[in-house]
Amino acid sequence: MSPALADANNGNWRTARRWQRFLSGLASTRIIRQWPDALADDDRAMLALHARRSAPAIAAWREARRPGGVGLILTGTDLYRDILVDPAAQASLRLADALVVLQEVGPLALPADLRGKARVIFQSTSSRRALLKTDRYLLALMVGHL
């Protein structure tokens, strides 16, 4: 479940596609913008990206299914804005069975009673070799969705 598909070519789409690749050898996967859809009857689990924007799908899953099967992957927008102020995002946190954050301090942004549902999964890059330090140049790398 992603608020963005390939046509958007943004961070949400890239993250959804990365997770699809991770899971493709383990299960049948698809990326959708809305749930339920025509294939919903065959779905066994939902990984939803973005608490606020996936809130209708998460609520629909809970209404249509027994408990279990919802993992919520929290974005930076979730952690640093939406879960603090948006009731739909807050409801998604409570309805999800598991919360995934992509950085080690991410669980600290969650309400204390929900931190036990959180798991940190580093998913963007592999380890890199250390570069030699130089006094001549400033070596800097900026990564982000600008």
Q: Is residue 3 part of a domain?
A: no
pLDDT computed for residue 40 by the predictor? 92
In this structure, is residue 75 part of a structural domain?
yes
Query: What is the SS3 assignment for 55?
Result: helix
Q: Which of 7-11, 35-39, 80-84 has the lowest mean pLDDT?
A: 7-11
What residues make up the domain containing 44? 11-120
Mean per-residue pLDDT of the chain:
89
Residues 27-47 pLDDT 10s: 889 999 999 999 999 899 999
Residue 128 included in any domain = no
Residue 130 placed within a domain:
no
Q: With 90 as the cut, is the pLDDT of residue 9 above it?
A: no
Question: Which pLDDT score, from 0 to 100, does residue 3 have?
Answer: 81
Tell me the average pLDDT across 63-88: 91
Could you tell me if residue 66 is inside a domain? yes
User: Domain count of the chain?
Assistant: 1
Q: How confident is the model over 63-89, as a mean pLDDT?
A: 91
Burial of 125 (0-12, 13-18, 19+ CB in 10 A): exposed
The predicted pLDDT at position 133 comes to 82
**Structure confidence at residue 110 as a pLDDT band (50, 70, 90):** very high
What percent of the chain has pLDDT above 70?
95
Could you tell me if residue 125 is inside a domain?
Answer: no
Q: Could you tell me if residue 136 is inside a domain?
A: no
Does 142 reside within a domain? no
| Measured CA distances, 132 to 63, 136, 141, 143 (Å) | 55, 12, 14, 20
Within 10 angstroms of residue 24's Cβ, the number of other Cβ atoms is 10
pLDDT of residue 48: 95
